[in-house]
Amino acid sequence: MAELYQSLADLNNVRFSAYRTAMKLRRLQKALCLDLLGMPTACEVFDQHGLKQNEQLVDISQLVTCLTSLYQRLEQTHSHLVNVPLCVDMCLNWLLNVYDTSRTGKIRTLSFKTGIISLCKAHLEDKYRFLFRQVASATGFCDQRRLGLLLHDSIQIPRQLGEVASFGGSNIEPSVRSCFQFANNKPELEAAMFLDWMRLEPQSMVWLPVLHRVAAAETAKHQAKCNICKECPIIGFRYRSLKHFNYDICQSCFFSGRVAKGHKMQYPMVEYCTPTTSGEDVRDFAKVLKNKFRTKRYFAKHPRMGYLPVQTILEGDNMETKLQAEYDRLKKMLPVSPQSARDAELIAEAKLLRQHKGRLEARMQILEDHNKQLESQLHRLRQLLEQVRTEAPLNGTALSSPSTSSQRSDSSLPVLRVAASQTTDTMGDDELSSPSQDAGLEEVMEQLNHSFPHSQGPSIGSLFHMADDLGRAMESLVTVMTDEQSASSTRLCASDPAPSCYRLHLPITQAPPLTLQKKKNTPMSPSYLLSSIIP
């Protein structure tokens, strides 16, 4: 059933509501296999199950029994088209959706008959006669109350499809009044007057004759060419202009509202759901010839409708006008006090405060996100510190300096460690560093060793401050080393057989560890050189 309603939504591109509703009902009629059900068969099933009192309620079990009998009879003649359990389930759901929106499990007998007969296979006037008999008295007359019940049950069918607004709304009083005005305001209505009124296609019931025309036009083939899409022959509805000669439109172009150059939608047109005869061609030719002498102003002033309009909007307009006048009168009577102006100021101030509150909440959310990022960075730094601690014993015979080893055992901060190892170089004394470069490296090493304070419980802010100091120290170190490499083309090595070498272990994954050698040239001015980049 859900797939069926989804397919009905594809027809929403039809511009005109009567045709849109009729095409939806035609698709629903085929899905429920009610286009195979004849009216005599339906009447026999109604009588078989005792559905004669139209005011009584029918529960779901009775509905299922009656629908099963209907579809079993259809299965006997259309066994390849009718699936009895599926059809019973879908038809039951449709009837409950139309007439039992509150899901009480019961509907009236009149509602059940109206829904089945409206979609069954029968002539249009036969349907009108059957529906009138259901609400007529024993004498064959119908009063306004009974006619209202019939029209109410009928209008529920397009209402369930969401199209009730185009047919005068759910209020059936204007339709009842229109019918009895057509019958010269008699207290009771006979069948002949009701049929004459229905032949005019009143607005509340126009969807039913359009449904029959849609069904009749499905197999119609017209020997004409569409002036818009050039389709030839035209299948389905054919719309002939009564303003221009040899101007025809197919149903696809007409439903989508397309027009050719020189033709307007307000021009009169005639619809054909069956192939035209020679007499109809002559009649249309005479009408076109007559309309050739009429101006555009005439067609705009005298629009022609294909149905009998029901003036339901006028009642709403009158009611709305009275209410608006009453509102204006009460508004003038209300005295204007300073308190009302104060209230307006308070309302405006409250609105501004709500806007400010929203901005503060947005900022607070941003700060919370930033706090989470800081916590994740702190966690990553701690992991790097633990990784360096575990890798420190694997770097050779590295010994921590006295000034930093005591802090490393007590603090959880990333600490700069300067470890000493023994190396042997055989390069000569002529490759010594210059005093200015030695002084620069000595200053950088001093900055690196004092990047972190010797404290036990640093905060998060001090941790990132120390990380920034470490980054600046690394920049200075790289700058000094770059200057040193550009000044000398060869490396400088120490002359003594066992100089002390310092290795920097930094808990920064982006910067590779560097090896610095210290040559004891003089007791007071040690010199440093870049030995290698440890892979």
Residue 154 sits in the same domain as residue 263: no
Residue 521 sits in the same domain as residue 402: yes
pLDDT band at 121 (very low <50, low <70, confident <90, very high): very high
Which strand ranges, in their side-by-side order, compose the sheet holding 248-250? 248-250, 238-241, 269-272
So what's the pLDDT on residue 371? 86
Residue 384 sits in the same domain as residue 477: no
Residue 65 sits in the same domain as residue 111: yes
Residue 66 sits in the same domain as residue 131: yes
**Whether the bond into 233 is cis, omega within 30 of 0:** yes
344-389 pLDDT per residue, tens: 888 888 988 998 998 898 888 888 888 888 888 888 888 888 888 8
pTM for this entry: 0.55
**Domain endpoint, select from 215, 234, 251:** 215
Lowest mean pLDDT across 138-152, 303-317, 358-372, 424-438? 424-438
Q: Is residue 323 part of a domain?
A: no
Q: How many domains does the chain have?
A: 4
**Domain endpoint, select from 168, 189, 215:** 215
Q: What is d(CA 95, CA 112) in angstroms, rounded to the nearest whole number?
A: 7
Ranges of H-type helices in 334-434:
338-391, 402-410
3-state helix, strand, coil in the chain (%, to 5): 60, 10, 30
Q: Is residue 239 part of a domain?
A: yes
Q: Is residue 322 part of a domain?
A: no
Q: Is residue 310 part of a domain?
A: no
Residue 388 sits in the same domain as residue 402: no
**Domain endpoint, select from 255, 279, 301:** 301
195-213 pLDDT per residue, tens: 999 999 888 899 999 999 9
Domain of residue 256: give its range. 219-301
397-414 pLDDT per residue, tens: 443 444 444 444 344 334
Q: Is residue 318 part of a domain?
A: no
* CATH code (residue 26): 1.10.238.10
Residue 439 sits in the same domain as residue 379: no
Residue 229 sits in the same domain as residue 191: no
So what's the pLDDT on residue 524? 39
So what's the pLDDT on residue 395? 58
Exposure string for 506-518, b = 16+ CB within 10 A, e = fewer: bbeeeeeebbbbb
Residue 90 sits in the same domain as residue 236: no
Q: Is residue 444 part of a domain?
A: yes
Residue 37 sits in the same domain as residue 179: yes
Residue 201 sits in the same domain as residue 273: no
Q: Is residue 459 part of a domain?
A: no
So what's the pLDDT on residue 79? 87
Q: Is residue 346 part of a domain?
A: yes
Residue 58 sits in the same domain as residue 150: yes
